[in-house]
Amino acid sequence: MYKVAVLTLFPDMFPGILNHSITGRAKSNGLWDLKVYDIRQFAKDTHKTADDVVYGGGAGMLMKPDLVADTIKLAKQDMPEAKVVYLTPTGTPLNQEKAIEFANFEGGVILLCGHYEGIDQRVIDLYVDYEVSIGDYVLTGGEVAVFPLVDSILRNVPGVLGNSATLHEESFDNDLLEYPHYTRPAVFEGLEVPKVLRSGHHGKIAEWRLERAIEKTKKVRPDLYQKYLEKQNKEK
Ligand code: ADE
């Protein structure tokens, strides 16, 4: 069973969408498990204060380091082998490769959600194994980022996707985006399904799909296309 822990000031946000569809079914089937830890439980004053001012001045507040550290320690008691991942816009960008790497962590992941201006650097230095960003934009908190991160990890956990074939040919394999797909009818609102896809000629279909994948990647992700080219040249 793949173990996920979420450390948050907003425990009610979970499991949320993770209890639905494929990830929800996989959870019911015992393929993964979620534990949520409320960081505020360690607050020491009657107001349950979780934030404090930033040294050096400037706007915003930081999460109190002792509360965050206490919560990490508690989660580690339950998951001693887990990797601690801090969700932050200043982290390494999430990609398919990272999702697969995380899915292979035997001890699972402990996901730390930042709020306000984030967390004290010493907590990162002492306890965090990975810092991950889900994209070059700033969210209101790390919680929102947990959903795409966990979803992208879980679909690489064995058994979560019933049909493993769907895992084998999809976007980002070979650094290409996936080719376009069509279903019936053969003509829809005047637009026809490309004839080659109806030809039954597997070689020609594979060739057409690769061409379209290259065309699409070149157009919308020139950075990825460059990576694809470099890998092709290396293989030659
Ligand atoms: N917290 C705020 N913005 C984020 C981002 N882009 N990725 C991960 N965590 C975040």
The answer, yes or no, to whether residue 184 has pLDDT greater than 80, is: yes
Greatest C-alpha distance within the chain? 72
- Our answer on whether the CB atom of 87 is closer than 6 Å to any ligand 1 atom is yes
d(CA 211, CA 216): 9
Segment 135-163 shows an average pLDDT of 95
Q: Is the full-model pTM beyond 0.75?
A: yes
Same domain, 141 and 192: no
Range of the domain at 128: 2-154
HSE, side-chain direction, 13 A CA sphere, residue 136: 0
**Residue finishing a domain among 126, 154, 182:** 154
- Our answer on whether the CB atom of 90 is closer than 6 Å to any ligand 1 atom is no
Give me the pLDDT at residue 167, please: 57
User: Does 160 reside within a domain?
Assistant: no
Give me the pLDDT at residue 172, please: 84
Same domain, 64 and 102: yes
91 Rama class: left (phi>0) / alpha (psi -120 to 50) / beta: beta
Are 143 and 39 in contact by the 8 Å Cβ rule? The answer is no
Query: What tokens were used for 98?
Result: 């990272």
Segment 174-182 shows an average pLDDT of 94
Give the rounded percent of residues in the chain with a pLDDT score beyond 70.
97
Residue type, 126: L
The rounded Å distance from CA 147 to ligand 1 centre is 11
The answer, yes or no, to whether residue 168 has pLDDT greater than 80, is: no
Are 150 and 43 in contact by the 8 Å Cβ rule? The answer is no
Give me the pLDDT at residue 6, please: 98
d(CA 23, CA 119): 29
Are 62 and 54 in contact by the 8 Å Cβ rule? The answer is yes
Give me the pLDDT at residue 9, please: 97
Which residue has the least CA distance to atom 7 on ligand 1? 133
Give the CATH number of the domain where residue 33 resides: 3.40.1280.10
Query: For the chain, how big is the Rg over CA atoms in Å?
Result: 22
CA 111 and chain centroid, separation:
11
The answer, yes or no, to whether residue 165 has pLDDT greater than 80, is: no
Same domain, 144 and 177: no
Q: Please report the atom of ligand 1 found closest to the CA of residue 136.
A: 6
Query: How many independent structural domains does the chain possess?
Result: 2
Residue with the bigger pLDDT between 226 and 235: it is 226
Give me the pLDDT at residue 203, please: 98
Give the rounded percent of residues in the chain with a pLDDT score beyond 90.
92
Give me the pLDDT at residue 10, please: 97
Give the CATH number of the domain where residue 186 resides: 1.10.1270.20
- Our answer on whether the CB atom of 146 is closer than 6 Å to any ligand 1 atom is no
In which band, very low, low, confident or very high, does the pLDDT at 236 lie, cut at 50, 70 and 90? confident
Average pLDDT taken over every residue of the chain: 95
d(CA 197, CA 50): 58
CA 185 and chain centroid, separation:
35
Same domain, 148 and 231: no
Which residue has the least CA distance to atom 10 on ligand 1? 88
